[in-house]
């Protein structure tokens, strides 16, 4: 059974309600191809507007983070069930910006992921090395450590995102060969954790994905779509990337 590609837009701290409304109106006017799961992950405050506008469409809705507790004294955090209540079905966990700027660790990311899955969300779990680690030849050691916490998760509600930190927001994209090498390594790690179920886990590439480079990245056998930052903010460029994923060879 082949893996349906996913193109997920991580809007980060962009697009309030007005801009989200304009984006949703524009994307609904695009003739999106079948065979690709498109997801947008707006800031929390824009989620209700997006949920209303995208209801009944094929575009899924995700959050950019989620807490592990159901409720309580956790100022500034959002519980999984609060997202589900809004129609959210996906949650990004462990993004490198959370790891670098907000104290996220492998352990806290794992707790978030488990709680999100328990509430019915599908987790997009991010891993990736910094430039320093790549240049020191430690890419695989970092990926091994970051993926070592995935074992207790449900592979049926898990998507992995390989996002080399040096490619995020820099315009410097991994080559398809670099992406495939990392994705193949991660697929092997998933086999170790989940056995045959690893073949069904989508592994997305993230880091300066654009309409101009999406097709060559998505052609790699273990690249099952993309997690897109800057280029997901505009409906025309986001839909061009979705079309690139639709034209990619099927992933077995
Ligand atoms: P850019 O596509 O802007 O490089 O961001 C990638 C990213 O961090 C997606 O989560």
pTM: 0.98
- Residue 252: pLDDT band with limits 50, 70, 90: confident
Question: What is the CB < 6 Å shell around ligand 1?
Answer: 10, 95, 163, 168-169, 206-209, 227-231
> Residue 1 pLDDT more than 70?
no
CA neighbor of 59 nearest in space, from 244, 247, 219, 242: 242
Share of the chain above pLDDT 70, in %: 100
| Mean pLDDT of the region 202-221 | 97
Domain chopping of the chain, boundaries = 6-246
CATH of 6-246, one of 3.40.50.300, 3.40.50.150, 3.20.20.70, 1.10.3720.10: 3.20.20.70
Burial of 53 (C-beta count, 10 Å sphere; 0-12/13-18/19+): middle
Which tens digit of pLDDT belongs to each residue from 28-68? Answer: 999 899 999 999 999 999 999 999 999 999 999 999 999 99
Cα of 49 vs centre of ligand 1, distance in Å, is 23
Round to whole Å and give the CA distance between 47 and 61: 8
Round to whole Å and give the CA distance between 10 and 62: 9
Question: Given ligand 1 and candidates 9, 168, 204, which is best to mutate, with the most ligand atoms within 8 Å of its CB?
Answer: 168
Report, in this order, helix, strand and coil percent for the chain, each rounded to 5. Answer: 45, 15, 40
| Mean pLDDT of the region 211-231 | 98
Round to whole Å and give the CA distance between 245 and 117: 26
Cα of 220 vs centre of ligand 1, distance in Å, is 19
Which tens digit of pLDDT belongs to each residue from 139-173? Answer: 999 999 999 999 999 999 999 999 999 999 998 99
């Amino acid at each position: 059974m082949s893996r349906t590609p996913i193109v997920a837009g991580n809007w980060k701290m962009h697009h309030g309600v007005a801009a989200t409304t304009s984006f949703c109106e524009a994307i609904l006017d695009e003739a999106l191809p079948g065979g690709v799961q498109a997801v947008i992950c707006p800031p929390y405050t824009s989620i209700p507007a997006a949920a209303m506008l995208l209801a009944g469409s094929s575009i899924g809705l995700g959050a950019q983070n989620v807490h592990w507790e159901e409720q309580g004294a956790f100022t500034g955090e959002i519980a999984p069930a609060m997202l589900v209540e809004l129609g959210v079905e996906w949650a990004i966990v462990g993004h490198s910006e959370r790891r670098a700027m907000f104290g996220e660790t492998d352990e806290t990311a794992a707790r978030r992921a488990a709680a999100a899955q328990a509430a019915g969300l599908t987790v997009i779990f991010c891993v990736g090395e910094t430039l320093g680690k790549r240049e020191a030849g430690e890419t695989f050691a970092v990926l091994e450590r970051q993926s070592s916490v995935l074992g207790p998760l449900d592979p049926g509600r898990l998507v992995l995102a390989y996002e080399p930190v040096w490619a995020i927001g820099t315009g410097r994209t991994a080559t398809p060969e670099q992406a495939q090498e990392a994705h193949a390594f991660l697929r092997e790690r998933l086999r170790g954790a989940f056995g045959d179920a690893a073949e069904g886990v989508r592994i997305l590439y993230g880091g300066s994905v654009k309409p101009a480079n999406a097709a060559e990245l998505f052609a790699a056998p273990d690249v099952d779509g993309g997690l897109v930052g800057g280029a997901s903010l505009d409906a025309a460029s986001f839909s061009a990337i979705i079309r690139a994923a639709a034209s990619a060879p099927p992933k077995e």
